[in-house]
Structure 1
């Protein structure tokens, strides 16, 4: 009886499960049919992709053919001698890589934070100077790294032998240059920093009596501002028998405007005057609104410059604005190349430097903001010294991301023909280069005398400047074919440095 009931339970279970099995099979069939229909419609609308035949193993092109090893490349992946192995490029490459935000993100961030501040942070210098020294240690003996070093001009050899050193003691300095006649917490509107040499007393005296007058100076049309003056000198050791140190001490006691360091005052050491000036400013005159840096053989229309600088300050948003942090104006030279003529004093061998120069202000004088001067002081600690001072400033600007402003009123190669003889010609410029002390005295007197007649004269514009752009900056000749200028940086003859 029990067996009979078990059999019937199996029959009833089969009858109940059979419809479920049939329904499940039907669902599977419908799903497959729908999928097949969608695949067919897609294949009809677009052609089927052609399968790509790939090799079993990728083989890079190279010199060797080994079954088990990949071939080595035909050329090196990393250039072992960038810029042809030029000495300055190699030295600078070491420090640029150290501050590269990709290669050294943490180090780069720390130092960029320092560059963005206006405070002179001693920790920054302590960290930067060893980095500069490390580049020299990596290169080794510098003279052995340059081809035909002993055949180079003496000034080039002297520079290479001393380019690792930039800290020189101050021999003479003015007392409280930026602290007299100014309210507490303020600096002068303009500091005139003029490069000169010890024996150029006549040049300095002409400047003191004309455009370099110190004190409160009225603008050509505006109220002007406080102007301070300082002359930058090295030491001419070969002239020590003239006892020029005593004369300079006497001159500083009388005028209070001599700043001298204990380094050899030569053309290739002019860069030291920039670097040491920035460091001196950060301590003794950090609140100066603007700095004029130029030669002692220029004529500067200081009153007109004061008006121009006040106008630029207003347009940029005032002191401390972003515009003032990047302000530099002058005769900007772009895409210049090193002078490869061995017979000139500007000769730079390709074993020392290769490449174009960054934009820089030349022609005997530029003006930059005090904020930028402090930034240049900091960034100069990560740029190796270069023998052309104007170019070195451009290299520092390039690493700050600063683009100097070109203004046609800064004349590098003098006036175009006949323009300089016009009555109000000198009222259209801010600076002109290569003027003797006697010419400076005479021209300044004429400028003061013609102020009323030339009161409506405006500064030179880019349109008026176009004629001077045709001049070959490496060799300018007069009508008789005589070379007048052999200096791509705007200086001719015996520069007063």
Structure 2
């Protein structure tokens, strides 16, 4: 009975003490809260109280004119219109971000740039939709250019059609590359010459002089197998003569016409590069070298064959790292778009903003067959540009390829003091702006003076000091004054 009473006594004791413990804990909590509140009161050297509702803008602590806080910037720190909102830059920005390995680490597409498998289904699947996505995101291209109604007609036509690059072949030479001297070996040099349907005299002069196909001897060496193909678009009502029928006859006679179904215009010359690379990849992938040039140039083909043989020996062998990025010509660097709207080279700031990457100009360049295949693949990542030589430079930039400058490729003709020298034309590989009659005459003189000028060497940099950019682009001296912001140095482009 005593144990029973003791047990109930303990229960009553707990019931009486528990409220006291709770009340004591509550008093301690209130005391601490009051003390904390008194320490957060505003005053000199005391932190501001935490607001009960978030401010309209974030306020960061810092030094300002009132000595308390720094206001949040009223505008974003990034540029909402990169490169001034120029149309081409915006389109290219979209595709560069798509392939950027930092922004899109899960996409491993770089192997497409170096593989020789041109029928890779994944490559084809990812190329065209990606290019199209940029146009879809921007929407109406013409509405992005405020000055579009005032632009020259050729610029308007280019903008309206720049999204399309898949044109069918109308005329194609059958088995132009064929087999080389050995089974499985392609031609040593393919001459791919841009021309127009009405320029028949230019083509005939080339066929009879520097563009002869077959085995061509070098100026001093063995030479190599040369193949010739003329690149054409389609002309529309340029004359009363049925040009298309004449081209068919010409093709059956010489088997060197390659024509696509697009309008042949100055701004569409870029299509000839893009479609040539695709044609080489499928019809002439074994070609060792490719010359791409205009039909108004004079090319010393025998001397070029000697030069290319020498470069092959120095590089080690075909397929070397050097040959994978080999391109030589008259390289133009730090050029800027022509903003004079009365010239055919006019590029408005609303379409493109920035400098041009280095590119080979002057009517002709030579590059390796390996590079032609790589250019075909990388061109699927670069939107078309109205100036063909510049577009090639844009593709080279993304491949990390630097074209080689050679003074023997004359863009702006000989200096006056050298024009009358007897062996002047034996010092060059190419010279631009020659009529068919001049090509015939000069070629005859070159062949006649071959023995006399046999010891003449090619031009060097010291003999070719004309570094000014004229005609197609703004004049710039060696100081590079008034250059625009370079869009090629961005992390997105450099990652490619």
Q: TM-score range by the shorter chain?
A: 0.7 to 0.9
Q: Which residue of 2 aligns with 1:114?
A: 112
Q: Distance in 2 between matches of 1:62 and 1:83?
A: 33
Could you say what secondary structure the match of 1:345 adopts?
coil
Deviation at 1:183, TM superposition (A): 2.6
Deviation at 1:243, TM superposition (A): 1.1
Q: Which residue of 1 aligns with 2:337?
A: 338
Structure 1's 118 and 337: CA in aligned 2 closer, same or farther, altered over 3 A? same
1:412 has 2:411 as partner: yes
For 1:324-335, list aligned pairs within 5 A. 324-335=323-334
Could you say what secondary structure the match of 2:464 adopts?
helix
CA contact (8 A) 1:114 1:124 kept: yes
Structure 1's 224 and 379: CA in aligned 2 closer, same or farther, altered over 3 A? same
Q: Distance in 2 between matches of 1:379 and 1:164?
A: 16
Q: Distance in 1 between matches of 2:114 and 2:77?
A: 35
Could you say what secondary structure the match of 2:378 adopts?
helix
Deviation at 1:240, TM superposition (A): 7.1
CA contact (8 A) 1:62 1:74 kept: no
CA contact (8 A) 1:62 1:73 kept: no
CA contact (8 A) 1:235 1:263 kept: yes
Could you say what secondary structure the match of 1:254 adopts?
helix
What is the aligned length?
Answer: 420
Q: Distance in 2 between matches of 1:416 and 1:180?
A: 42
Q: Distance in 1 between matches of 2:221 and 2:121?
A: 39
Q: Which residue of 1 aligns with 2:165?
A: 166
Could you say what secondary structure the match of 1:457 adopts?
coil
Could you say what secondary structure the match of 2:248 adopts?
helix
CA contact (8 A) 1:191 1:288 kept: yes
Q: TM-score with structure 2 length normalisation? A: 0.81
Q: Distance in 1 between matches of 2:185 and 2:117?
A: 16
Q: Which residue of 2 aligns with 1:156?
A: 155
Structure 1's 346 and 442: CA in aligned 2 closer, same or farther, altered over 3 A? same
Q: Which residue of 1 aligns with 2:81?
A: 81
Could you say what secondary structure the match of 1:242 adopts?
coil
Structure 1's 145 and 61: CA in aligned 2 closer, same or farther, altered over 3 A? farther
Q: Which residue of 1 aligns with 2:379?
A: 380
Deviation at 1:72, TM superposition (A): 3.4
Structure 1's 446 and 474: CA in aligned 2 closer, same or farther, altered over 3 A? same
Structure 1's 119 and 221: CA in aligned 2 closer, same or farther, altered over 3 A? same
Q: Which runs of 5+ in 1 are unaligned?
A: 1-52, 478-497
CA contact (8 A) 2:345 2:472 kept: no
Q: Which runs of 5+ in 2 are unaligned?
A: 1-44, 51-58, 476-496
Q: Which residue of 1 aligns with 2:368?
A: 369
Structure 1's 76 and 366: CA in aligned 2 closer, same or farther, altered over 3 A? same
Deviation at 1:119, TM superposition (A): 2.0
Structure 1's 62 and 338: CA in aligned 2 closer, same or farther, altered over 3 A? farther
Q: Which residue of 2 aligns with 1:491?
A: none
Q: TM-score with structure 1 length normalisation? A: 0.81
Could you say what secondary structure the match of 1:232 adopts?
strand
CA contact (8 A) 1:195 1:273 kept: yes
Q: Distance in 1 between matches of 2:327 and 2:469?
A: 24
CA contact (8 A) 2:89 2:352 kept: yes
Q: Distance in 2 between matches of 1:240 and 1:118?
A: 43
Deviation at 1:473, TM superposition (A): 5.3
Q: Which residue of 1 aligns with 2:226?
A: 227
Q: Distance in 2 between matches of 1:188 and 1:435?
A: 27
Deviation at 1:403, TM superposition (A): 0.2
Superposed CA deviations along residues 335-385 of structure 1, whole A, max 9, x for unmatched, are 000000000000000000000000000000000000000000000001000
Q: CA RMSD in A?
A: 2.4
